[in-house]
Amino acid sequence: MSSSDSEVLKKSGRSAMPLDEIAYRILDVLRDNGRVSIAALAEKVGISRANAYTRVESLVHDGVITGFSARIDPAKAGLSIGALVFVTVLPQAWASFRERVLEMPDVEWCAITTGEHDAMMLIRAVDVSGVHEFSTGVIAQLPEVRTVVSVVVLDEVVRRSYLLPSDIPERSAEIPLGMTRWTPASPGRDTLPPR
């Protein structure tokens, strides 16, 4: 694989090389403790220190590991309110909307979605008025935005740093979809340039 092919795969969110069982074990250990020493990582995974170091470096180089950071409790850090902000974007305004969101420090997470709304954001604030100020004074004021709906988060039940394929249980294909509706992306949303 050429280096340009590798760059295309990295930008698309796919790794340049398929992951093997050792790579998944390394990711599993790092998920629990990103500060683990290479020696301890090697011991937990069952490989040599040199191999562990090389493997971690390869995972970083291939874009599988995108960085290392601390996990915090937002409330204990002074951001006691979380809110989901659902946004409907005007047609043809996707690229501009995306660029504006990337510049907003209040946004912890944002995804372009299918369904009734076009984007969903998780924001943090010191209090409820901060959510209101962001929703009505920042997002709703953007010329790209048609509508905004904010929902205050009462309790975060599950918060994982990431999932691995081994975390997903096998399920019977006979399970009915129930009330799930799949809505395709609007024209133009499926061709947004990668970040």
- Residue 120: strand pairing partners: 86, 111
Tell me the pLDDT tens digit for each residue of 117-162.
999 999 999 999 999 999 999 999 999 999 999 999 999 888 888 8
Residue 3 has pLDDT above 50, yes or no: no
Taking a C-beta distance cutoff of 8 angstroms, is the pair 41, 30 a contact?
yes
In the block, residue with structure tokens 């500060």: 35
Inter-CA distances, 3 with 8, 28, 61, 195, Å: 9, 28, 11, 19
Q: Choose the CATH number for 81-153 among 1.20.1440.230, 3.30.70.920, 3.40.50.970, 3.20.20.10.
A: 3.30.70.920
Taking a C-beta distance cutoff of 8 angstroms, is the pair 102, 115 a contact?
no
Q: What is the pLDDT of residue 15?
A: 44
Q: What is the pLDDT of residue 43?
A: 97
Q: What is the pLDDT of residue 178?
A: 61
Q: For 185-195, what is the mean pLDDT?
A: 56
Min mean pLDDT across 76-80, 89-93, 148-152, 174-178 is at 174-178
Residue 192 has pLDDT above 80, yes or no: no
Verdict on whether the full-model pTM lies above 0.75: no
Inter-CA distances, 100 with 67, 115, 119, Å: 23, 22, 13
Residues of the chain with CATH 1.10.10.10: 3-61
Q: What is the pLDDT of residue 1?
A: 41
Residues of the chain with CATH 3.30.70.920: 81-153
Query: So what CATH class is 3-61?
Result: mainly alpha
Taking a C-beta distance cutoff of 8 angstroms, is the pair 127, 79 a contact?
no
1: closest CA among 15, 13, 12? 15
Write the secondary structure of the chain as one string of H (helix), E (strand) and C (coil): CCHHHHHHHHHHCCCCCCCCHHHHHHHHHHHHCCCCCHHHHHHHHCCCHHHHHHHHHHHHHCCCCCCCCCCCCCCCCCCCEEEEEEEEECCCCHHHHHHHHHCCCCEEEEEECCCCCCEEEEEEECCHHHHHHHHHHHHCCCCCEEEEEEEEECCCCCCCCCCCHHHCCCCCCCCCCCCCCCCCCCCCHHHCCCC
Q: For 19-26, what is the mean pLDDT?
A: 95
Tell me the pLDDT tens digit for each residue of 29-72.
999 999 999 999 999 999 999 999 999 999 999 999 999 988 89
Query: What is the C-alpha separation between 14 and 30, in angstroms, rounded?
Result: 19
In the block, residue with structure tokens 């979809």: 177
Q: What is the pLDDT of residue 51?
A: 96
Average pLDDT, the chain: 85
Q: What is the pLDDT of residue 171?
A: 80
